[in-house]
Copies of this chain bind each other. A is one copy, B any other.
Amino acid sequence: MDEQEDRFTDPTYRAAVIDLLGTLAYGELSAFLRLASDAELAPTLTAKAALAGLAATEFEHHEQLRDRLIELGADPEQAMRPFVEPLDAFHERTRPSTWLEGLVKFYVGDGIASDFYREISDFVDPGTRKLILSAVDGTARASFVLQTVRQAIAIDPTLASRLGLWGRRLVGEALSQGQRVAADRDTFSTLVVGTEAHPGMGLVGIIEMFGRITERHTQRMHEMGLSA
Contact = CB atoms under 8 A, between A and B. Distances in A.
Interface of A: 26, 29, 32-33, 36-37, 39-40, 44-46, 48-49, 52-53, 55-56, 59-60, 62-63, 66, 76-77, 80-81, 84
Contact of A52 (B39, B49, B59, B77): B59
A49 B46 CA distance: 25
B44 A33 contact: no
Contacts of A56: 32, 55-56, 59-60
A52 B40 contact: no
Contacts of A37: 36-37, 40
Contacts of A80: 45
A23 to B, nearest CB: 12
Select the residue from A48, A62, A66 with max chain B CB neighbours within 10 A: A48
B36 A77 contact: no
